[in-house]
Amino acid sequence: MSSKRISGHCYERVNMLVATPSTRLPLDEFRRDDMLAIYRTAYHGTGVKREDMKFQVLPALEVVELFTLSPQIEATLHQHYPSAVIQSLYGTVLQHISETQQGSTKPLSFHAISLDNQIFIIQLQRGHLTYANSFQATKPEDQLYFLLYIWKLFNLDAHHDTCTLYNTKKELLTLARDFIANVQTKTIPL
């Protein structure tokens, strides 16, 4: 952030997508005072403090995404860009996919997004979030394993249901098509 290349520019809008581990809970169950306890339950053993906790409301899904960010990083960002918006990468992806599914006639949608060393898998049923989780997997074969595991967990039909892969490499796409007949590809801007 102290680089003149970055801080010397005048930006109209700055969004910071934070890719720290995150968890979600229904909007009607969200209480700010409970954020740390819920996060520590999901990620036991982390050294997270109350001041590290952040949240993002996903109104279309009626969900709150809990994530963390160091207060020092936040302070530095706001020192250079006072109006910067901080969001969870996963929450932003969920919101984007939910918005693209608005008005869809399909009762079920299954999505997988390749992100560096992991795969983020999402399932929506009639526009409601039924599943979202990320798995550490660097190789396409490992990403396929998690994708198929969740596919089977929800008893999806390999011949009739559709899997949408976002930002995927050709190797994962080819592997997925060996097991799932209806695989679509899309790009999501990150």
CATH of the domain at 177: 3.30.420.260
Q: What is the pLDDT of residue 13?
A: 84
| Of the candidates 100, 18, 33, 28, the residue with the CA atom closest to the CA atom of residue 57 | 28
Q: What is the pLDDT of residue 105?
A: 72
Q: What is the pLDDT of residue 102?
A: 76
Q: What are phi and psi of 179, to 5 degrees?
A: -115, -25
* Model confidence pLDDT, tens digit, residues 120-151: 999 998 878 999 999 999 999 999 999 999 99
Same domain for 87 and 110, yes or no, is no
Q: Collect the ranges in the chain with pLDDT lower than 70.
A: 1-9
Q: How many domains does the chain have?
A: 2
Q: What is the pLDDT of residue 3?
A: 52
Last residue of a domain, one of 39, 67, 94: 94
In a domain, 190, yes or no: no
Same domain for 134 and 76, yes or no, is no
Q: What is the pLDDT of residue 12?
A: 78
Same domain for 180 and 142, yes or no, is yes
Instruction: Report the predicted TM-score, pTM, of the whole model to 2 decimal places.
Output: 0.85
Last residue of a domain, one of 94, 125, 142: 94
Q: What is the pLDDT of residue 5?
A: 54
Q: CA separation (Å) from 187 to 19, 109, 145?
A: 18, 16, 21
Tokens of residue 126, six digits: 């009639």
Which residue intervals of 20-80 are DSSP H helices?
35-42, 71-80
